[in-house]
Amino acid sequence: MLIKDYQDNAVKKLLSRSKELLSQGGEKRLIFKAPTGSGKTIMTAEFIKQLINDNEINFPLSFIWTAPRKLHTQSKEKLEKYFEDTRVLECSNFEDLLDKQIAENEMLFLNWESINKKDKNTIVKENEKEFYLGKIVENTKEEGREIILIIDESHHHATSDISQELISDISPRLTIEVSATPVIQNPDEIVSVPLDEVKLEGMIKKSVTLNPDFKNILSGDNLISTLADGTDSMVLEEAIKKRIEIQDAYKKEGMDVNPLLLIQLPDRKTQQEDEIKAEIIRILKDKYGITIENGRLAVYLSEEKENLDNIAKNNNETEVLIFKQAIALGWDCPRAQILVLFRDWKSLTFSVQTVGRIMRMPQPEIGHYQTEILNHGFVYTNLSNIEIKEDMAKSYVTIYTSKRIDSYQPIELESVYRVRQREKTRLNPKFIRIFVDEAEKYDLANKIEIENQRLEISLISDYQASGVDKLASEEISGETKIDATNELDLQKLFDYFARNNLSPFYPEDRSIGRVKEAIYYFFKIKLNIDYSEEFSKIINIVLSPKNIQHFINVIDSTKAEYIEETSKKANELQKLKGWEVPSQLSFGGNYAELNTNKSVMTPFYYDNRWKTEEIFIKYLESYDNVLWWFKNGDRDATFFAVPYTENGEEKPFYVDFVVCLKNGKIGLLDTKSGNTIKDAREKSDGLQSYIKKNQNFFGGIVANTNSRDYTGRWMCFTGVGNELAPDDFSNWELLEL
């Protein structure tokens, strides 16, 4: 499993903060806040692995993992898969425990509801066999082990009085509460994963749009949508049209993904909900030919489950799923892209949690797609009472849609953008090529000894270890020497050698494998020793006392060369030959409609962040010769950028405005004020260099001579960047359109 950059950062923070809290003594509490779809379980698993292997933790640890409903079972399956190779952690159910205790580096998985009813449940109720939670915790602590309690989806249950009493009974050395929307107050530490970083890595969709193509008005926290006047049938029709549009887009991209439409019913159980479900099933069958029988409809309810096998697979035939939130907690289906909520909900507080089921990208290894519609989720509802309170929801859930005007004619600008490079933290196949080159420079083939080489490990004579995989967490030294001949142990020793020499790269399995592959390839092409035939011989040669330092030297020089090469690549910008104004843009609740006549996007939404821009828009609107103007954004290939160079690095400059005049000329204008003018020198040079390539272009850095109230003249700088100075407009030109 590849660890993303933001996941790596979060794990490092979790580890450092946890170690600090554990060193302080007493019972501590840490909140781990991470958005839905960011990989909370994987990050927590990697954190646990590193905590167990950390030499600074000088006492043994046992773990308890609790989660609501059946989520603990899913978490156990994920962690078992994560630890199946290293076996660093043992994952157990209550009945799996031995000797009535939680062993060192063992995690007990519990369903929260089952341990929350003291008078009824056998897990917590005292019994003559002394096999109940309280006694198990007591026995574990008597053996000198500290307990770390992890509460997954903590917002569901961790605040109740019974829950707090139970946490008190367990008395863990450290409690970690994991949630996208934590509600606990005054923790000792908080580790947060920013939503924007998860989006940038392509793990989740860029946004979720509420009732696209219908006018939405946000007043305070209350949202009013014109779709509220529509029938359930109309809402369903709009959602199915969007599903077909998305399906066609996947086909054009060459992706075998069948987008799933979710219809969510309220958790309450009444005759009215049954009638609504029956009506939905009837409409789907009669109007669209979608039925349970033909596999295109699935049902996920407590009393009924249909067509759920393999439904999470991207190319599964099911198109629509009817479900309830309570049943589907923790259920992952990344191809789900549209959510439908009917007015029988009465009211809804809209949050990121609400849209969690449609936030994930179906192919996170690819990330976001070229076709923009595939990078967004969609919610359709005829609810008339919707509240949007969370700041995160207001920025992530988009409620306004702006469309390009019908009269727009293509302008085909060449734009640039930066692709996120992941080679900075992990190794790609070029490491193998570089290793062979560095081995040649070092003359490795002639420096090492081949015949009769055996690896040796120095061990203290009374050292007790359960297996060679313990090498990752133990400091081994001493006089007694042994020879390793077992092939499984040899492989573990070689893994340890590779991992120990990876820094500063992340020690994930793929990067460890890359180091080993490079060494195998060297032996094959330089020494004619094939890994598949002489695996043991190669490892003994590499790890023998006479050779090991030579291999470390070559690995170190390879890493240095690899870092230099990938840094150059990271600085390269991608070119987009025919950029056009986006056909559609979405905006969150922190934007408001601004009345304009010449915006190419209509309606025009603005966040009122920069007074300079707002006044300049009025200036553009005053010119009859302006056909349209576009307020540019500042991210990826969606928006327009020109290249510029700063400190030797090429970067994208997203100019504020693209302006089209009636004579066909294109203006590229970026508004500045005060000291921001001086900071724009390199950007100005890049912009002027771009403009000079085409006589149809004009523009530059734009500023008003009166930066206090913008009542002065609007000026444009077209000169050389080092002559650009704030409040000196003697070398500027009057901007006339």
pLDDT attached to residue 28: 93
pLDDT attached to residue 486: 65
| Higher per-residue confidence, 726 vs 161 | 726
pLDDT attached to residue 338: 96
Provide the 8-state DSSP code for 479: S
Q: What CATH class is the domain 5-197?
A: alpha beta
470: pLDDT strictly greater than 60: no
Predicted confidence band at 506 (pLDDT cuts at 50, 70, 90)? low
CA distance 396 to 199: 10
Predicted confidence band at 413 (pLDDT cuts at 50, 70, 90)? very high
**301-356 pLDDT, tens per residue?**
888 889 999 999 999 999 999 988 655 555 678 999 999 998 777 677 777 667 88
Helix axis angle, 535-543 to 548-571, nearest 10°: 90
448: pLDDT strictly greater than 50: yes
Check: CB of residue 369 under 8 Å from CB of residue 345.
Answer: no
438: pLDDT strictly greater than 70: yes
CATH of the structural domain 202-404, one choice from 3.40.50, 2.40.30, 2.30.140, 1.10.10: 3.40.50
| Higher per-residue confidence, 357 vs 675 | 357
**Pairing, β 601-602 against β 397-404:** antiparallel
pLDDT attached to residue 629: 98
**6-62 pLDDT, tens per residue?**
898 999 999 999 999 999 988 999 999 998 888 888 899 999 999 998 888 889 999
Predicted confidence band at 176 (pLDDT cuts at 50, 70, 90)? very high
- Residue 117 CB coordination number (10 Å): 12
Closest by Cα among 195, 197, 111 to 156: 111
pLDDT attached to residue 222: 80
| Higher per-residue confidence, 441 vs 179 | 441
Predicted confidence band at 445 (pLDDT cuts at 50, 70, 90)? very high
CA distance 369 to 684: 31
**680-730 pLDDT, tens per residue?**
999 999 999 999 999 999 999 999 999 888 899 999 999 999 888 877 899
Closest by Cα among 713, 703, 598 to 661: 598
pLDDT attached to residue 220: 75
The tally of CA atoms less than 13 A away on the side-chain side of residue 381 is 32
DSSP assignment of 170-228: H--SEEEEEESS----S-SEEEE--HHHHHHTTSB-SEEEESTTS-EEEETTEEEEGGG
pTM of the entire structure?
0.70
| Higher per-residue confidence, 46 vs 420 | 46
**Cβ-based neighbours of 321, under 8 Å, separated by 6 or more:** 260, 261, 262, 263, 297, 298, 299, 300, 311, 333, 336
CA distance 552 to 502: 10
CATH architecture of residue range(s) 575-734: 3-Layer(aba) Sandwich (3.40)
pLDDT attached to residue 184: 67
C-alpha separations of 80 from 1, 45, 85, 86, 351 in Å: 13, 10, 9, 10, 31
Mean local confidence (pLDDT), 521-537: 87
CA distance 137 to 169: 9
**379-403 pLDDT, tens per residue?**
999 988 787 776 667 778 888 889 9
Q: Give the range among 192-196, 438-442, 511-515 with minimum mean pLDDT.
A: 511-515
pLDDT attached to residue 54: 87
117: pLDDT strictly greater than 70: no
129: pLDDT strictly greater than 80: no
pLDDT attached to residue 673: 86
pLDDT attached to residue 471: 44
Give the whole-number percent of the chain exceeding pLDDT 90.
Answer: 46
User: Where does CATH 3.40.1350 sit in the chain?
Assistant: 575-734
pLDDT attached to residue 476: 41
pLDDT attached to residue 478: 41
Average pLDDT in the chain = 85
**655-679 pLDDT, tens per residue?**
999 999 999 999 999 999 877 888 8
Residue written as token pair 């019994």: 127
160: pLDDT strictly greater than 60: no
The tally of CA atoms less than 13 A away on the side-chain side of residue 31 is 21
473: pLDDT strictly greater than 50: no
pLDDT attached to residue 201: 85
Mean local confidence (pLDDT), 192-208: 89
Dihedral of the alpha carbons of 549, 555, 560, 564, in degrees to the nearest 10: 160
pLDDT attached to residue 333: 87
Q: Give the range among 69-73, 185-189, 263-267 with minimum mean pLDDT.
A: 69-73
pLDDT attached to residue 536: 86
The tally of CA atoms less than 13 A away on the side-chain side of residue 228 is 15
Q: Give the range among 170-174, 316-320, 356-360 with minimum mean pLDDT.
A: 356-360
User: Where does CATH 3.40.50.300 sit in the chain?
Assistant: 5-197
Q: Give the range among 225-234, 313-322, 497-506 with minimum mean pLDDT.
A: 497-506
pLDDT attached to residue 164: 74
pLDDT attached to residue 324: 83
Check: CB of residue 279 under 8 Å from CB of residue 344.
Answer: no
